[in-house]
Amino acid sequence: MLSKLFPSNEHVIERILRVVVGLGLLSLIFVGPQSYWGLLGTLPLVTGLAGTCPVYTLFGISTCKTSGGLKVGI
């Protein structure tokens, strides 16, 4: 049931980039401007760690490898 609700639709490289960007944005809470805008980093961090993006699921997009290459688009 959860695999239909939260399918794995992110490529490994995209997941790594999301985690790095998320941690970078979260660091803005403690260094630099020290504002709460850094909390926006939780979104890419959580989606990167989970391996699923709700927006991708909504539009039927997947960047995971398939047998014929990357499946991007609907």
Give the pLDDT of residue 4. Answer: 78
pLDDT at residue 69 greater than cutoff 70? no
Structure pTM?
0.80
The yes-or-no verdict on residue 67 having pLDDT over 90 is no
* Confidence band of 72 (pLDDT split at 50, 70, 90): low
Q: Give the model confidence (pLDDT) of 17-65 as tens digits.
A: 999 999 999 999 999 899 999 999 999 999 999 999 999 988 989 998 7
CA distance 19 to 26: 10
Long-range contacts of 4-7 (CB under 8 A, 24+ apart): 6/50, 6/52, 6/57, 7/52, 7/57, 7/62
